[in-house]
Amino acid sequence: MTTPGLDTKDGELGYQEREAVAVFESEAALNAAVDALLQYGIQQADLSVLAASETLSASNPASAVEDKADVARAAYVTPDSRVEGAAALTGGPALVTGLGAALVAGTVGAALIPALALTIGGTLATGSAGYVLSRVFGRKHAAAVHQQLANGGLLLWVHAPDAKDDAKILEILKENGGRDAHIHVVHRSWGADDVPFSADQPDPLLKL
């Protein structure tokens, strides 16, 4: 289990967190490791990867950040989820426009032909916009993967609160191509800034 620390500083609680970490030479290998981890019983919420905003370089490769507690991370997203997201971007706006125009056609029967034209035109326009957005997000993901691979590989962190799972987690990581797979303990902190909306005023009429 995550062990809270006894030290508090500036209103923050320090605690230790156990993780497994490994570096992969391809996205396919990382995804295969994730599939095996999920089958073993690890939750997807316990998996994280390097955030796209975190830039690796020759002087700051994957091996230099794998054990850092403050490196920017992102939740792992399955390939299927990315495909579904792209499909939603492409088809969602078109569906909304099409349904809206169909409702107009249903209420104004005499205007059926113009409404159908509106449906087709709106669907094509919004569908094209969604397609462009999906392509943009796809290129950003591909660029982030390429940049990380060029600077040491793709990082995968696995939250491992129970030591009894260590051996199996490391075995899965290594069997699927993960190198430098190991368990580490990182120091994290939790404070008021981590509470959602902690700095917001719920009622703008209240004066403090």
The torsion angle over the Cα atoms of residues 157, 160, 163 and 166, rounded to 10 degrees, is -40
Domain spanning 14-77+154-191: which CATH class is it, in words? alpha beta
Higher pLDDT, 135 or 148: 148
Among candidates 155, 142, 148, which has minimal Cα distance to 184? 155
Q: Is a pLDDT exceeding 50 seen at residue 198?
A: no
Mean predicted lDDT score pLDDT of the chain: 74
pLDDT band at 30; cut points 50, 70, 90: very high
Q: Is a pLDDT exceeding 90 seen at residue 160?
A: yes
For 32-86, write each residue's pLDDT tens digit. Answer: 999 999 999 999 999 999 998 898 999 999 999 999 988 999 999 987 654 444 4
Secondary structure string (H, E, C) spanning the chain = CCEEEEEEECCEEEEEEEEEEEEECCHHHHHHHHHHHHHHCCCHHHEEEECCCCCCECCECHHHHCCCCCCCEEECCCHHHHHHHHHHHHHHHHHHHHHHHHHHHHHCHHHHHHHHHHHHHHHHHHHHHHHHHHHHHHHHHHHHHHHHHCCCCEEEEEECCCHHHHHHHHHHHHHCCCEEEEEEEEEEEECHHHCCCCCCCCCCCCCC
Per DSSP bridges, beta strands 12-24 and 154-159 are: antiparallel
Q: What pTM does this model have?
A: 0.64
Percent of the chain predicted with pLDDT > 70: 57
For 122-142, write each residue's pLDDT tens digit. Answer: 555 555 555 454 454 467 778
d(CA 125, CA 120): 9
Q: Is a pLDDT exceeding 50 seen at residue 6?
A: no
d(CA 91, CA 199): 37
Q: What is the pLDDT of residue 197?
A: 43
Q: What is the pLDDT of residue 76?
A: 93
Q: What is the pLDDT of residue 199?
A: 46
pLDDT band at 16; cut points 50, 70, 90: confident
pLDDT band at 7; cut points 50, 70, 90: low
